[in-house]
């Protein structure tokens, strides 16, 4: 069966995955952009976001590239899709990424408010799921064609899937920054009880990469 994976999710030293006050100008909250300094210069990021040839190689790039391997679908929370809250006022908002988002697969967006599917360039179609995290996962598995599913942010979305024991693997990039306030990714979660253990870790000048995997049961 395909795996549900969290990949390249950046957190601060104080465990925060986003800063406070997400807005159109601050999509990751105040200070949140500083969490991702490790990935911006990598070859993988440059290629996927239109930077052309170039970019750094090495462990940071290796982890970034791994996050896109064998992915057949994505799941993300509405906060990752955009800053709009409540009922959709219209369908003008089409995400942060322009006409050709970097996903190139079906993307299932968790929301409480229905919206028709949004077809973008490059093979990305956003599907808006209103009946919960398990329904989104079931639809993503059906769309992934046996490949893995990547679970994007935000923090609340990942915590919901972790709490239910639905995530098979988590790659965290711990950035050498403090935010002080924002959204805590792992606070209050007993990862040991949920079956997770550290299976890999590597430190670079830009981040400490940690991979957590959930033991198979049954």
Q: In CATH, what is the architecture of 4-87+97-214?
A: 3-Layer(aba) Sandwich (3.40)
The full set of domain ranges for the chain reads: 4-87+97-214
Helix, strand, coil: what percent of the chain each, to 5? 25, 25, 50
The answer to whether residue 65 scores a pLDDT higher than 70 is yes
Q: Give tens-digit pLDDT for 89-115.
A: 999 999 999 999 999 999 999 999 999
Distance CA(214)–CA(166), nearest Å, equals 9
- What is the predicted pLDDT for the residue at 163? 96
- What is the predicted pLDDT for the residue at 54? 81
Residue spans of alpha helices (H) in the chain: 37-40, 43-48, 59-66, 78-81, 133-144, 155-163
**Confidence category of residue 23, pLDDT binned at 50, 70, 90:** confident
Worst-scoring range by mean pLDDT, 22-36, 103-117, 149-163?
Answer: 22-36
**Confidence category of residue 28, pLDDT binned at 50, 70, 90:** confident
The answer to whether residue 26 scores a pLDDT higher than 90 is no
- What is the predicted pLDDT for the residue at 21? 84
In this structure, is the dihedral angle defined by the CA atoms of residues 27, 33, 35 and 37, taken in order, positive or negative? positive
**Confidence category of residue 52, pLDDT binned at 50, 70, 90:** low
């Amino acid at each position: 069966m395909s795996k549900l994976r969290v990949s390249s999710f950046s957190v601060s030293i104080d465990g925060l995955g986003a800063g406070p006050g997400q807005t159109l100008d601050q999509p990751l909250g105040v200070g949140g952009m500083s969490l991702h300094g490790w990935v911006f210069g990598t070859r993988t990021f440059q290629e996927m976001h239109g930077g052309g040839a170039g970019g750094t190689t090495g462990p940071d790039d290796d982890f970034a590239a791994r996050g896109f391997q064998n992915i057949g679908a994505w799941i993300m929370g509405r906060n990752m899709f955009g800053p709009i809250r409540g009922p959709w006022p219209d369908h003008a908002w089409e995400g942060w990424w322009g006409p050709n988002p970097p996903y190139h697969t079906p993307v299932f967006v968790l929301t409480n408010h229905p919206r028709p599917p949004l077809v973008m360039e490059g093979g990305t179609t956003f599907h808006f799921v209103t009946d919960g995290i398990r329904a989104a996962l079931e639809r993503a598995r059906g769309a992934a064609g046996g490949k893995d599913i990547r679970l994007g942010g935000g923090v609340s979305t990942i915590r919901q899937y972790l709490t239910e024991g639905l995530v098979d693997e988590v790659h965290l990039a711990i950035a050498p920054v403090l935010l002080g306030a924002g959204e805590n990714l792992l606070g209050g979660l007993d990862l040991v009880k949920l079956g997770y253990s550290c299976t890999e870790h590597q430190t670079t000048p830009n981040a400490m990469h940690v991979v957590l995997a959930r033991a198979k049961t049954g």
